[in-house]
Amino acid sequence: MGYYDDHMRSDKQKRSWLMPTIIGALLGAVLILLSLPILVQANLLPYELSEETQESTQSTPSGDGENKQINVELNSQITEVVENVSNTVVGVVNIKQQSIFGQSESQQGGVGSGVVYKQAGDSAYIVTNFHVIQGADSVEVVFSDEEQVEAEVIGGDVYTDLAVLKIDAQHIDQVIELGSSDNLKVGEPVLAIGNPLGLQFAGSVTQGIISGKDRLIPQDFNGDGNIDWQSEVIQTDAAINPGNSGGALVNMDGQLIGINSMKYASTELEGLGFAIPIDIARPLIEDLEEDGSVTRAYMGVEIFSLSDVPQYHWQNTLNLPNDVEHGVIVDGVERMSPADQAGLEQYDVIVKMGDTEIRNVLELRQYLFTEVGPGDEVTVSFYRDGELQETTITLVAQSN
C-alpha cells in the first residue's frame, strides 16, 4: 500500500508542473518573436544578422525617404574625385648640372610634385614648392603617362615656399579648380595627391581630415638659430611624405584648397602634415606669374632684435628707458631708401609701426609683408638717445 501511495503522488506531481511549463514555453516563444524586430533595430543582439537581415536594415529609409549608405557613398565620392583631378597633379624634377672630368652632366637633384592650375592661350601654369626647384639648373615636369617636358621657372618665393612653372599647353588635358581654404572646417575630409618618395609612386592618394587651421610654423632660412618667418598653414593627418611637396590637397568637391609642403614636416612625427592654404597662396601665385616675384613693402634698413643684444647695451649704448624691453634696432640705413628719407638713423630702436607694436625682427618683417604694401604711408615710433620719437615713412616695392 505504501508503494502504491508513493507512485500515485509522483504521477500527480508530474501533471501539476507539466502544463505550466508548456504554457510558459509557448508564451516565451511568442514574446521573443514579438520583441525580435525591436532588438534588431536597437542593435542589441549578441550575434550578426543573416545576409537577408543585413540588407533589410541597410535599406531602412531615413526621415527624408532616401536610403543612406554613408560608407558606400563616401568611397564612391573619393574615387570620383581622384579620377577627376589626378591628371592635374604632376611630377617636378630638379635637374642640376655637374662637371665630371671636365664634362658637364645632368643629374637629378630631387623630385617633388606640382599642380596644373591654369591655362592661358598656348601656356599652362603649374604651382609647386620653392624648395622643390631651389638651386635647379633646369626643371622638368613628368605627367602620369611618364611624358617628360622641360618647364620654365617663372618665379619663386622663399618665405611662402611657392614657385610657378610654365609649359606648353599642348601637354595638358585639364586644370584643377581652385577652391577656398577660409571656410574649411576642422574634421572635414580631404585628399592629398602627389609623388611620395619619387616618381615610382606617382599619383599616390592619401585620405585624411583637416586637423587644424591657422597653424604657425617657424622658419629659419639661414640656419642661424633665429626665426626669420612664420608660415601659416593647414594641418592634416593625410600622409605627406618626401616627394609630396608641391602636390594637391583637395576637398570632396575636387577643388584645390592647399599646396602640400614636406618642408614643414618632420621624420619624427606621424599623422602630422601641412599645406599652404590656397587663399594665402592665390595672390602670391598671381604675383609670381606676372612679375616673377612677390611684391612686398620695403624700408631699406638693416635690423636685428633688441633681445639679441646684451642688456648692458640697452641703457649704456642705446640709452633706452628701463621699461623698454622689446623692439628692433636699426643697424644700418640704405642711402636714398624710404628709411633714409624718413630720417631713421643707426641705433634707432623701432617699437611701433602704425598701431602695431613691434617686438622683434620677425614681427617687423611680417608687418611689412602682410599688413602694408608699396606706396603706403606708415607712422614709425622709435627711441633715439632715450627719447620716444615719430616719423612717417612711405614704403616702396622691394627690388628683385
3-state class (DSSP) for residue 73: helix
Runs of H (alpha helix) within the chain: 2-41, 51-58, 70-85, 130-133, 278-291, 311-316, 338-341, 361-366
Catalytic residue among 113, 157, 161, 381: 161
Q: Which residues, at least 6 apart from 363, have a Cβ–Cβ distance to it below 8 Å?
A: 356, 357
| 245 part of the active site | yes
Do residues 298 and 396 make contact, with C-beta atoms less than 8 angstroms apart? yes
Do residues 226 and 245 make contact, with C-beta atoms less than 8 angstroms apart? no
Phi, psi (5° rounding) for residue 312? Answer: -55, -40
258: its cell numbers? 592647399
H/E segment holding residue 350 = strand 349-353
Cα three-residue angle 338-341-346, rounded to 5 degrees? 85
Task: Using DSSP bridges, classify how beta strands 349-353 and 377-384 pair: parallel, antiparallel or unpaired.
Answer: antiparallel
Q: What sign does the dihedral 223-262-91-172 (CA atoms) show?
A: negative
Catalytic residue among 113, 245, 261, 305: 245
Bridge partners of 258, per DSSP, are: 249, 277
* Site of grid cell 612717417: 392
Helix, strand, coil abundance in the chain, percent, nearest 5: 30, 35, 35
127: its cell numbers? 604651382
| 326 part of the active site | no
Active site residues: 131, 161, 245
